[in-house]
Structure 1
Amino acid sequence: MRAAGVTDAEQVADGVERWRAAATATGAADRAAAEAGVRLAYRRAGLAEPERIVWAGSPREALRLLRDAHDGDCGPEARGRSVRDAVRSTPWAAERSRLHDRLGPQGWTRRWGVTGARLWETTRQLTDRIGAGLVEGVAGDRAEEAAIRLLLLDAVLGQHDAAWLCAFDTGAGSPLDGLAAVARSAGWWWPYERLAVVCERPVELHRDEAGRLDRGDGPALAYPDGFALHAWRGMPVPAAFLDELAALTPERIRDEENAELRRVMLEHYGYDRYLQESGAQPVHRDETGVLWRIPLPDDEDVVMVEVVNSTPEPDGTSRTYWLRVPPATRTAKEGVAWTFGLAAEAYEPLRQT
C-alpha cells in the first residue's frame, strides 16, 4: 500500500534506491533472514527445503567447497542436482511474462527504464568482474577452468540480482519473495536439491563516479575470507602494482611494457606532472596555448594542450590547465577547438574564459 501523499513515481524511485543499496551493501550478511529466504525460495518453486545450508566467506570459497568436496559433505552425491532453474529461472521468466502481458511491450519497456535499467550496467560490470576474477584465481588449467565455469552457471547472484528484482513484484506472496529476501540479506548462492551454499557480502566496495571498481591504495572489492579484486577506474590491476604508484618516476612509467598499466601510471602520476618532469618539449605554440607530445613505446602518443585561464583567480594568479587531445592533433588551436567539438578553422572565441 502506498503512503498517503506519495506518488507512483516517488514510490518507484524509493524502490530503486532501496535495491541500489542492497546491490552495494557491504558487511556481514543477515544469515537468519537469508536462510529463511532460501527456504522460502525452494517452497515457492514447489521443492522440499534444502537439508543443509552452508555458508562461505566469498564466491571463491563457495566454488572451492563445491569443486574440492568430491564425495564429501558438499560433493555431488551429498548436494544432489542443481535446482537453479526451478528456484530462479522459471519464476523469473514467469514474472517477466506476466508483467509483459499486463503492461504490453511499451509498458514493460517504460517500467524497465525507470527501474532495473538504472542499476543494470553497474551491477553487470561488477558481476562480470567477479566472475572473471574467480576463473583467474581458482582455475589452474583448462579442465579446471571449464569445471569452474560450469559451477558458475549454477549460481544465483543474490544482492547482484537487484536490477531484475527492482523491476519485478517481490512483495510478500510473490513467487520471487524468497529470492528477494536472500538478495537483501546476502551475496551469491548456489541452490542444489539437498544443499544450498550461501556467500557473505563484500566487506569493502570502492567505485568511481561511473560505478567502476576503483581504488589506488588497496582492494576495490574485498570479502571477509580474503578474496579481493584490485582495479583502477575499472581496469583490473595486480595488487603489487598499486604499491608502486606512490613511488612512481617518469623513468619507471616509460619502462613499463604493458601499455594498459602504463596508462594507469600516467593517470595516477598526472599527465601534466609527467610532462614537466620527463623533459618533454613543446611541439607547437600559438595564441590559444602550447601543444605537448610524449611518444610512448608500443602505444599512441600522449598529446596535451597547456592553456592559461584568461580570468585571474581571486589572488590575482592565472590557473594553468592541461587538456588531453587526440594523438593526431598538430596545433594548440586544433586541440583546444577539439575540446569544444569544433574544427580549428571554426574556433574563434570572442573571449577566452
Structure 2
Amino acid sequence: MGGADMSGAGMDNGADGSGAADAAGTDPAYGGSVNGGSVNVMSAEGDSVDATSTDDGSVDGLGTWRTWTRATVPADRAAAEAGVRAAYRAAGLPEPERIVWAGSPRAAVSLIRELPDRGACVRDAIRDAPWAAERARLHAELGAGGWSEHWAATGGRLWESTQALVDRIRTGVLEELAGGTTGEEATGVRLLLLEAVLGQHDAPWLAAFAPAGGPFEALTEVCRSAGWWWPYARVAVVSERPVALHQDEAGRLDNGEGPALAYPDGFALHAWRGMPVPADFLTELATLTPVRIHKEENAELRRVMLEYYGYDRYLKDSDAKPLHRDETGTLWRIDLVGDEPLVMVEVLNSTPEPDGTHRTYWLRVPPRTRTAKEGVAWTFGVEAEVYAPSQQT
C-alpha cells in the first residue's frame, strides 16, 4: 500500500463523508473513513436547550436566535400567549377568544380540523404583511446588494438548516395524518400547515428584521417562547416545542439510537444524516452484517446501513478484492445491487502522527475510477496524469 500526505487539499473533499462535505457544497456521496472506523462528528444540539437565555456569545451574533430555533424545553405558555395576543393587537385585530395548546404540529393540525368555528385564518395580517413591508423598507434603504449582504450576515446563516427542519416536520405531519403527500386529504392537511406561523422556526427572518416594537416584538416573543402556532379570527392554536432534537454538524436530522426529533405527545421523526428512516430500522443498525446490508433492496436505506457500518469495514468483511495497487495506495471495489458500485482507495498517510504511527485513510471515489492514483488524484481535484506527490502538501 502506498503512502501519501493526506493533510492537504485532498481531505477537504468530503473526507468524513458527512456534514463537512455538505457544508462546503461538495458531493456528500463520496468521502472516507479513518483507521477502519467511519469519521462522524455528531452533536445532539438542542437537547434541553434553555430558550430563556439571552446571552449571545456566538461569533456571528446569532447565538440567541440559534438557541431559540433549537430549543427543546417546555414552552413558556404565559409569555407565548401574551405574544400571541399582542400580535393580534399589532395587526389591528381583536384578540382571539381563546388560545388552545397542542403537543405537536401534528396534534395542532388534528385539533384545527375539529374546530369549524375557528374563523378565518389571519396569518397574512399578523405575519406576512409586516414581513413584506419590512423587507421592502430594508430593500429600499440598503439597495439590492446591501440587502443581500444584510441577509447573508443575519437570517441567511440560519435559513437553510431551519427550513430543512420545517420541511421535514411538514412531511412527517402529512404522512401521519394523510397517509402520504398526495391526494385530497393531503391537500387539506398541507393547506393547514401553510397557515401556521412558525414560532421558534421563524427565527431566521426575525433575526434579519426584528425592530423593537410593533408586530415584530410580539412575533419575537412567541418565537422565544413556543413552537408553531395558527392564528384564526376566533381561536389561536399553539404547539409545544420538541423535547429532543439531534442534528449533525451540517444541521441535518441525525440520530442512530432513537428519534432525531421528538415532541412531548409522541410525534417523532427518525433520520440518519438527514435521510428519513423508519423507526424500527434503527434497531437493526447495532447488529448489522454484510449479508443484511447486501440483502436490503431499498438503495437509500442500504446507503444508511453502509454509512453506519462503515464503507471500509464493509469492504473488509465482504471479502472484497483489490482492483489495483500502485505507489499511491490500493483501489477496492464491490458491486451493490440496484446502486452504483462501492469504490474506495486505501491510503497510508506518509505524515506520521505525534506518536510516530501512520494513519490509514479510506477515500470513497467515483465508480469510474480504475487506478489508485486516479482515485487519489480525484480527491485533490486533478487528473491522474498531472498528479505528483509534491502536490500532496
Q: TM-score, normalised by structure 1?
A: 0.91
Aligned match of 1:143:
184
Whether the 8 Å CA contact 2:104–2:241 is kept in 1: the answer is: yes
Q: Distance in 2 between matches of 1:140 and 1:267?
A: 29
SS in 1 for 2:248: coil
More deviation, 87-96/222-231: 87-96
Q: Distance in 2 between matches of 1:175 and 1:13?
A: 25
| 1:24 lines up with 2:63 in the alignment | no
| 1:124 lines up with 2:163 in the alignment | yes
Larger Rg: 1
Please state how far the C-alpha of 1:292 moved relative to its aligned partner: 0.4
| 1:234 lines up with 2:274 in the alignment | yes
Q: Of Structure 1 and Structure 2, which has the larger fraction of its residues in helix?
A: 1
Deviations 1:208-261 (A, max 9, x none): 011111111011100000000001111101111111000000000000000011
Change in Cα spacing, 1:144 to 1:305, as seen in structure 2 (3 Å) is same
Aligned match of 1:105:
144
Aligned match of 2:127:
88
Q: Distance in 1 between matches of 2:195 and 2:91?
A: 16
Change in Cα spacing, 1:11 to 1:292, as seen in structure 2 (3 Å) is closer
Whether the 8 Å CA contact 1:309–1:352 is kept in 2: the answer is: no
Whether the 8 Å CA contact 1:310–1:352 is kept in 2: the answer is: no
Aligned match of 1:4:
none
Q: Which one of 287, 302, 313 corresponds to residue 327 of structure 2?
A: 287
Deviations 1:295-343 (A, max 9, x none): 0001000000111122344555432211111100000010011111111
Whether the 8 Å CA contact 1:248–1:269 is kept in 2: the answer is: yes
Q: Distance in 2 between matches of 1:164 and 1:97?
A: 13
Q: Which one of 205, 208, 227 corresponds to residue 164 of structure 1?
A: 205
Q: Residues 1-353 of structure 1 correspond to what in structure 2 (within 5 A)? A: 13-14=60-61, 16-67=62-113, 69=114, 75-77=115-117, 79-140=118-179, 142-171=183-212, 173-350=213-390
Q: TM-score, normalised by structure 2?
A: 0.82
Aligned match of 1:3:
none
Number of positions where the alignment pairs a residue of Structure 1 with one of Structure 2: 335
Whether the 8 Å CA contact 2:257–2:282 is kept in 1: the answer is: yes
Deviations 1:36-82 (A, max 9, x none): 00000000000000000000010000011112x1xxxxx222x1111
Q: Which amino acid aligns with 2:167?
A: D
Q: Distance in 2 between matches of 1:169 and 1:314?
A: 50
Gaps of 5+ in 1: 1-9, 70-74
Q: Distance in 2 between matches of 1:317 and 1:17?
A: 40
Whether the 8 Å CA contact 2:165–2:253 is kept in 1: the answer is: yes
> Using CA pairs below 8 Å that are at least 6 residues apart, which structure has the higher relative contact order?
2
Gaps of 5+ in 2: 1-56
Whether the 8 Å CA contact 1:50–1:196 is kept in 2: the answer is: yes
SS in 1 for 2:307: helix
Whether the 8 Å CA contact 2:91–2:125 is kept in 1: the answer is: yes
Q: Distance in 2 between matches of 1:263 and 1:292?
A: 17
